[in-house]
Amino acid sequence: MCRAAVDGLGLSGAVVSLMVASESGSVGSEAIAASWGVGAEAVEELQFSLGEGPSRDAFILSRPVLEPDLEKSIGRWPGYAPAALGAGIGSVFAFPLLVGAMRLGVLSLYDAVARTLSEGELADSLALNEFATRYVLDHPLGGEGGEGGDASVLDELEFRDEIYQAQGMVMVALNVSLAEALARMRAHAFVTEQNLTALAADIIYGRAWLLAATEDE
Amino acid sequence: MISTGKLSDLFVEVADTLVADFDVVDFLHNLTRHAAAVSGAGAVGLLLTDQRGNLEFMAASNATGELLELWQLQSEEGPCLDCFRTREPVINADLTNAESRWPVFAPKAVAAGYQSVHAFPMRLRDEVIGALNLFGSSDTLFEPEDVRVVQALADVATIAILQERSLARAELLTEQLQGALNSRVVIEQAKGAVATIAGVSVDEAFELLRKQARSTHQRLVDVAHSVLSGSNAEYKIGV
């Protein structure tokens, strides 16, 4: 996917980092899951060691952080920007992998020169952002998460308000993370051959309860 | 048509809000409610672009307003979508006579009790980033001066999303727009969490979240985040 991003958008690098939020909502831990392009991984790692940069900001702010010209962002990232410029990076576009408050990581796109994304390139980047989010949801690290990797369930990830609300309910009821709550809902929907929106409505109106945590442990 | 008394209330609130560090989701929700009160419309909804050619639901004055927007998105037709595509407002459209224009949506809207509809583009330079939709009875018709006022409301919504006067960077729009769309999702998730914590409906949970935000002078989305990160133990939401 990173390679497709680099080739398709004419960039120099792309990196998917997985991140876990700390208690304060900042970045607790982070790891690179995939990358493509010369030096892309090293530039991403700069942020890990310096503790600042666009990927971290995108994760913390829960929105894209787009810097078409790193020269102009030295004030914002006094450590990172000069180091990235020194490593031959001119622009960075960081898109968080998230669904509401469920934050999974960041897709960072790099180019060697200062440049903006055209309307079409932006649409493609947002599509890649969504694809990466779904991919990470389906392939959680450490084996955590549900069995709902089936394509039909994936198509069903047309997120709707009922699903978000039910996700919050399951999170509290089972005392798990939002990501885990969604994984349990998808697994339940898959096993009971029901669609996720219908299951979510059942949860909201008290017609369905997911089994307590012992089920998968 | 436009109620000037209600209009001044609205401008006072808008001015109060836009100078502070405000919550865009809560603000747009209030804006749709004010737009309904000012114009006499029964339901008002607001859609935003996802910058990939699609619109997403953002805010509505009531549950019917939300439904009317979702129906348009589902059937891929309707005044909001036309307004977004053509970049022009839809004014005084007669829903009872619109079956050829919106074969799926128009009959549904009529069945829901509405006869007229208006849609105003949220314009930013040469882009349209969303649309404001007003549904009313057969006598909710807008005069040219009403049109200017409601278009101004749509422009206020645009400014609220940008949250910054400097529009120098096109990237800013993407950052703010995507952030706003995601904030709405955070609030939906928090509604579910609070409903379960407090043993109330999701609608009641929303009111509890708003009350919490007001009484602690926090943004709604920040309260929602703290509920979801489990750091809200001290809040005792719901009692």
CATH number of the CATH domain containing A59: 3.30.450.40
User: What's the burial of B113, exposed, middle or buried (CB within 10 Å: 0-12/13-18/19+)?
Assistant: exposed
Do both A189 and A98 map to the same domain?
no
Residues B107-160 pLDDT 10s: 999 999 999 999 999 998 888 999 999 999 887 789 998 999 999 999 989 988
Residue A80 shares a structural domain with residue A14: yes
Distance between CA atoms of residues A204 and B196, nearest Å: 9
Residue ranges of alpha helices (H) inside B40-167 are 63-75, 79-86, 105-111, 144-162
The reply to whether A210 and A119 lie within a common domain is: no
The strands making up B127-136's β-sheet, listed across from edge to edge, are B55-60, B43-49, B127-136, B116-124, B90-94
The amino acid at residue A111 is D
Q: By C-alpha distance, which of A14, A10, A16, A37 is closest to A121?
A: A10
* Total domains in the fold of chain A: 2
List, for residues B49-87, the tens digit of each pLDDT value: 999 989 999 999 999 999 999 999 999 999 999 999 999
- At position A178, the amino acid (one-letter code) is L
Q: What is the pTM of this model?
A: 0.84
* Residues A109 and A163 both lie in one domain: no
Cα–Cα distance, B123 to B155 (Å, whole number)? 7
End-to-end CA distance of chain B: 42
For residues A99 and A205, membership in a common domain is answered with no
pLDDT at A216: 45
Alpha carbons A59 and A63: distance in angstroms, whole number? 7
Q: Which helix (H) or strand (E) holds B117?
A: strand B116-124
Contact B74/A at CB under 8 A: no
B193 CB near a chain A CB, below 8 Å? Answer: yes
Contacts with A100 from chain B: Cβ below 8 Å: 182, 185-186, 188-189, 228
Examine the domain organization and report whether A140 and A169 are in the same domain. Answer: no
pLDDT the model gives residue A54: 96
The label of the residue with tokens 């639901």 reads B57
Choose among B174, B185, B228: nearest Cβ to A122. Answer: B174
- A–B CB contacts, 8 A cutoff, strictly below: 102
Least confident of A18-27, A158-167, A190-199, B54-63: A18-27
User: Do A126 and B225 lie within an 8 Å CB cutoff?
Assistant: no
Burial of B127 (0-12, 13-18, 19+ CB in 10 A): middle
Last residue of a domain, one of A113, A134, A154: A154
Q: Looking at A154, A176, A194, which one is the last position of a domain?
A: A154
Burial class of residue A115 in the structure, from the number of CB atoms within 10 Å of its CB (0-12 exposed, 13-18 middle, 19+ buried) = middle
CB contact A131 to B (< 8 Å): no
- The answer for B 42-71 residues in CB contact with A (under 8 A) is 50-53
Q: Is B76 on the interface with A (CB under 8 A)?
A: no
Q: Do A101 and B231 touch (CB under 8 A)?
A: no
pLDDT at A140 (0 to 100): 64
Query: Which of these three, A154, A175, A201, is where a domain ends?
Result: A154
Q: Alpha helix (H) ranges present in chain A?
A: 2-9, 40-50, 54-61, 80-86, 119-138, 151-155, 161-174, 178-191, 196-204
Residue from A165, A176, A182, A203 whose CB has the most chain B CBs within 10 Å, to mutate? A165
Same domain, A39 and A116: yes
Distance CA A174, CA A157 (A): 21
Domain, as residue range, for A205: 159-216
The answer to whether the Cβ–Cβ distance between A23 and B231 falls below 8 Å is yes
* Token pair for A34: 């995939």
Using the beta-carbon criterion (under 8 Å), do A25 and B229 form an inter-chain contact? Answer: yes
B189 to A65: CB separation less than 8 angstroms, yes or no: no
How near does any CA of chain B get to the CA of A71, in Å?
A: 15
**Dihedral sign (CA B83, B87, B91, B93):** negative
Contact B237, B198 (CB under 8 A): yes
Q: Is B189 an interface residue toward A (CB < 8 Å)?
A: yes
Dihedral-angle region of residue B55 (phi above 0 means left; psi in -120 to 50 means alpha; beta otherwise): beta
Are residues A141 and A49 part of one domain?
A: yes
Indicate yes or no: CB of B195 within 8 angstroms of CB of A168. Answer: yes
For residues A18 and A90, state if they share a domain. yes
Q: Which of A103-117, B166-180, B186-200 has the lowest mean pLDDT?
A: B166-180
Average pLDDT over every residue of B153-172: 77
Same domain, A109 and A24: yes
**Nearest residue in B to A95, CA atom:** B175
- A205 and A150 housed in the same domain: no
A76 and A178 both lie in a single domain: no
Host H or E run for residue B28: helix B24-39
